[in-house]
Amino acid sequence: MAERERRSTPPYGGVFVARSQVMDADDVRRAIWRMAHEIVERNHGLDGVVLVGLQTGGVLMAEAFAEALAEIDGTEVPVGTLDVALFRDDIGIRPVLPEAVTDIPVDLDGAIVVLVDDVLFTGRTIRAALDALGSYGRPRAVQLAVMVDRGHRELPIRPDFVGKNLPTRRDEMVNVSPSGVDLGELVKEGR
Amino acid sequence: MNRHANHLLSIADLDTADLDQLMRLTDRFVEVSQRQIPKVPALRGKNVVWLFYEDSTRTRLSFEQAAKRLSADTMTFSVGSSSVKKGESLRDTVLTIEAMGVDGIVVRHSSAGVPWQIARWLEHRVSVVNAGDGWHEHPTQALLDCYTIRERRGSLEGLRIGIIGDVKHSRVARSDVLAYTALGAEVTLVAPPTLLPPSLEGWPVRVSHDLDAVLPDLDVAYLLRMQRERMTEHLVPSLREYTDRYGLTARRVDRMRDDALVMHPGPMNRGVEISAEVADLPRSVIIDQVRNGVAVRMAVLFLLLGSGVDKVLGSEGALPDAVADPDPAGVPDLTSAAPTPEGAPR
């Protein structure tokens, strides 16, 4: 979703048109459930774990993780949101406005931060997120959970928890929602 | 950069949607200011110069703090220690500064219209922010005032706001009237006739000369500084008489609504337009205004210099008209009531 909104901003404007469904709602739910187990396993419990959803596509997912983790482990994990607009490296190249809410409810010093986003693509959003997290303290570790890893990385960044590895063409679009994951294209309006 | 630089020259250039956008954007920068490390790299490599032809401490410091939190570089030009003393003209000064490489100029000047003039001289290659021009406007003050009211009351829609005191010489009042009414508030000017502009034609306001009659209905009492240096003009018989009729005293404040706010753009004359104890009441949000000023100016600087968003502040549409007229008195609506102070520019 984040990617879609970004690409919908002029001059990239357009409408997402789905071509094929890659995951349905059940697949998404199962992937969340599996990744939640992996988060517990990797961290030997949930002590010090904080979920941070990247605006806007990662926010709903982070909440879904929190629900799953509460059921699996009986622990309420703090959930925050992060908008990385002010830390992006393409400020000045294309229009950027920090419209979404950043809310980090706990001190991140010594925490294990699980960054959550819907689609991992070039890795530049994650690079910006890592910089932004530094403003809230020094986490003990930062891990990355994404629903879809679509490749085409431009930076040395890899996810720790992946819903689905999805080979794509660069000009394709991936749209993630609770009702499923779609692969499609951005169609320019009025052309 | 070939693109037409955006400016913030007048609240009159902004429509309600622009103001709403700025308020929402300010929310983001309030959050940035609360971080453990309240600094973001958004304006790295941008250079902003403060061109202050008139004294200012809070506005300049506030802009300075805003720019630093956005990682911009800043330079200060103050008239006291500059070539202006050697007789350099404003135009030459501005062109010289531009040649050094700047992205934004924040200007305060005692003559109305100077920011427009600068924008025109630089052919819109550099963003210009009006930090106060004569008696004309002080747009970022109005934005932070709106933001502070919105923070306490949720919105300005339907609020009754009284602007009390020396409206005639107040650029804050002019910007505030435009911003408050654009956001749906009703504004009443409360002042003796001598401290009102000679003509209020076209001002979307009511006028009263009786503070006691108006006060119980107000949601916001916005007090203007009684400029002591104007006392020689005999516009009021004495400061004491002014306080007696228009000062917000402890006795008067008791007659205000429970949720009504007291505001002041600073610097305050405690004991004149506001009594010492009233300034420290919980309903007084004067310190909040100062704090929000930094976030509002971050929003303005980011929008103009960093966001890459065009036409945001409506300046493209509104500017050419104002700029086509080289007479500073020709700038937007309210100027007719805001004559250029005599003897300016200094």
Mean pLDDT of B142-167: 97
pLDDT digits 0-9 by tens, A132-153 = 999 999 999 999 999 999 999 9
**CA angle B27-B32-B35, nearest 5°?**
135
- Asked if the C-beta of A93 comes within 8 angstroms of chain B's C-beta atoms, the answer is yes
Number of structural domains found in chain B: 2
Chain B neighbors of A98, CB-CB under 8 A: 25, 28, 302
Helix H or strand E encompassing B28: helix B16-33
Which chain B residue shows the shortest CA-CA distance from A88? B42
Report yes or no: B56 at the A interface, CB cutoff 8 Å.
no
pLDDT digits (tens, 9 = 90+) for B170-191: 999 999 999 999 999 999 999 9
Domain boundaries, chain A: 23-170
Based on the fold, state whether residues B164 and B253 are members of the same structural domain.
Answer: yes
Mind telling me how many Å the CA of A134 is from chain B's nearest CA?
8
CB B191 within 8 A of CB B157: no
For residues B152 and B126, state if they share a domain: no
Q: Using one digit for the tens of pLDDT, what is the confidence trace for B56-104?
A: 888 999 999 999 999 999 999 887 766 677 788 999 999 999 999 999 9
CB pairs under 8 A between A and B: 60
Cβ contact, residue pair A92, B39, below 8 Å: no
Does B197 lie in the same domain as B87?
no
CATH code given to domain A23-170: 3.40.50.2020
Residues B147 and B275 occupy one common structural domain: yes
Same domain, yes or no, for B116 and B163? Answer: no
B25 chain-A contacts, CB cut-off 8 A = 97-99
B148 shares its domain with B281: yes
Q: Are residues B114 and B28 in the same domain?
A: yes
Co-location of B159 and B105 in the same domain: no
Does B230 or B248 have the greater pLDDT score? B248
* CATH (domain of B252): 3.40.50.1370
Per the domain annotation, does B336 fall within a domain?
A: no
Whether A97 sits inside 8 A of B307 (CB atoms) is: yes
- Domain-embedded: residue B154: yes
Phi/psi for B152 (5° steps) reads -85, -35
Within a domain: B333? no
Domain membership flag for residue B218: yes
Higher-confidence residue: B335 or A54?
A54
Q: Is A46 exposed, middle or buried (0-12, 13-18, 19+ CB in 10 A)?
A: buried
User: Do B32 and B117 belong to one domain?
Assistant: yes
SS3 A183: strand
Interchain pair A101, B31: CB under 8 A: yes
**pTM, full prediction:** 0.85
> Given CB atoms, is A86 within the 8 Å cutoff of chain B?
yes
How many angstroms separate the CA of residue A86 from the nearest CA in chain B? Answer: 5
Beta bridge partners of B130: B107
Question: Of B260, B286, B312, which marks where a domain is finished?
Answer: B286
Question: Are B95 and B183 in a shared domain?
Answer: no
Token representation of residue B111: 């003559």
Nearest CA in chain B to A97: B307
Alpha-carbon distance B98 to nearest alpha carbon in chain A (angstroms) = 20
For residues B145 and B272, state if they share a domain.
Answer: yes
Domain that holds residue B30: 11-138+290-327
